[in-house]
Amino acid sequence: MNWKTFFALLQRDGHVARRNLLPMLLQNLLQPLLFTFVFGRVMTTSGLMPPEYKSMLLPGIMAIAMVLSGVQAVAMPLIAEFQFTREIEDRLLAPIETGWLAVEKIAAGMVQALVAGLVVIPAAWLAMGSGVNLSFGHPVEFAVICLLVAFMASAGGLTLGCTIGQTQIGLMFSLVIAPMMMFGCAYYPWSK
């Protein structure tokens, strides 16, 4: 394993993410903030939803933001690298085993997913206003769940990015991402 090459590839992906910080934040925050504003602020203040719904909604919004960010952070560049730029050929020629390229992509996607999840917490908290009861009483479990969500989202993005062509990007969002968001129990509890 060539760690120097691995970290150079990771640093390059980090540089690209920093360079595209504003579009990335808008892409990852706009939808969660609209959901928190409508469901957590408008519907609870108008009486359509109980105020306790805010406390259940915030972790779901965080999870959705992490999943969307992890999938998009890995899948969209991979689709471009395979189709448009052919940059994947340069990565495959790097002095590193091919399997570690996938690990690097997943690690870069995990970092972006974790950042998106952490940025959503205060932003959604501000959008919903007072009455959000969020407890960090179990920080180890919280960290493990966040890491697992980030890993699964990035690995899913790697799978989608390697199997879907550029003409099927819309199909990916309508057949994979949208049902996952609506039926993933992020906006409602699993037990009800």
> Residues 107-160: pLDDT tens digits?
989 988 998 888 888 877 787 777 777 777 889 998 999 999 999 999 998 888
Record the tokens describing residue 40, joined without a space.
């957590």
pLDDT by residue (tens digit) across 173-192? Answer: 788 777 877 777 776 766 65
pLDDT value at residue 152: 94
- Burial class of residue 182, CB neighbours in 10 A (0-12, 13-18, 19+): exposed
Q: Cα separation of 25 and 73, whole Å?
A: 12
Reading the block at residue 188, the tokens are 């409602």
| 173: CB partners within 8 A, 6+ apart | none
pLDDT for res 183: 77
State the average pLDDT over residues 86-101: 68
User: So what's the pLDDT on residue 163?
Assistant: 83
Number of helices (H), then strands (E), belonging to the chain: the values are 9, 0
The pLDDT value recorded for residue 121 is 82
Q: C-alpha 100: how far from its chain's center?
A: 21
Residue 75 and residue 61: Cα distance in Å, rounded?
A: 21
Question: What confidence tier does 47 reach under pLDDT thresholds 50, 70, 90?
Answer: confident
Structure confidence at residue 84 as a pLDDT band (50, 70, 90): low
In this prediction, residue 178 carries a pLDDT of 78
* pLDDT at residue number 90: 62
